[in-house]
Structure 1
Amino acid sequence: MYAIVATGGKQYRVKEGMEIDVEKLRAEPGDEIALDNVLLLGQDDDVKIGTPYLENAKVTCEVVKHDRGDKVIIFKHKRRKDYRRKTGHRQDYTRLKVTAIQS
Structure 2
Amino acid sequence: MYAVIRTGGKQYRVAPGDTLKIETTAHQEGNVEFSDVLAVSGAEGQFESDLKGAKVTATVLGEGRGDKILVFKLKRKKQYKKMQGHRQDYVEVKINEIVVGGKSLK
Aligned-residue offset at 1:101: 1.0
Matching residue of 1:36: 35
- Calculate the TM-score normalised by the size of structure 1: 0.86
Would the alpha carbon gap of residues 32 and 44 (structure 1) be closer, same or farther in structure 2, given more than 3 Å must change? Answer: same
Q: Does the alignment pair 1:90 with 2:87? A: yes
Count of residue pairs brought into register by the alignment = 99
- 1:34 is paired with a residue of what secondary structure? strand
- Calculate the TM-score normalised by the size of structure 2: 0.84
Query: Map of 1:10-21 to 2, 5 A cutoff?
Result: 10-21=10-21
**Preserved CA contact (<8 Å) 1:39 1:49:** no
* Structure 2 residues without counterparts, runs of 5 or longer: 101-106
- 1:25 is paired with a residue of what secondary structure? coil
Once residues 7 and 76 of structure 1 are traced to their aligned partners in structure 2, the CA distance between those partners, rounded to angstroms, is 30
* Structure 1 residues without counterparts, runs of 5 or longer: none
Deviation above 2 Å: which 4+ runs of structure 1? none
Aligned-residue offset at 1:77: 1.1
Once residues 2 and 95 of structure 2 are traced to their aligned partners in structure 1, the CA distance between those partners, rounded to angstroms, is 11
**Preserved CA contact (<8 Å) 1:60 1:101:** yes
**Preserved CA contact (<8 Å) 1:21 1:95:** yes
Matching residue of 1:27: 27
- 2:25 is paired with a residue of what secondary structure? coil
Once residues 20 and 39 of structure 2 are traced to their aligned partners in structure 1, the CA distance between those partners, rounded to angstroms, is 17
RMSD (Å) for aligned C-alpha atoms: 1.6
Once residues 38 and 75 of structure 2 are traced to their aligned partners in structure 1, the CA distance between those partners, rounded to angstroms, is 44
Matching residue of 1:63: 60
Matching residue of 2:99: 102
Among the aligned pairs, what percent are the same residue? 39
Once residues 49 and 30 of structure 2 are traced to their aligned partners in structure 1, the CA distance between those partners, rounded to angstroms, is 29
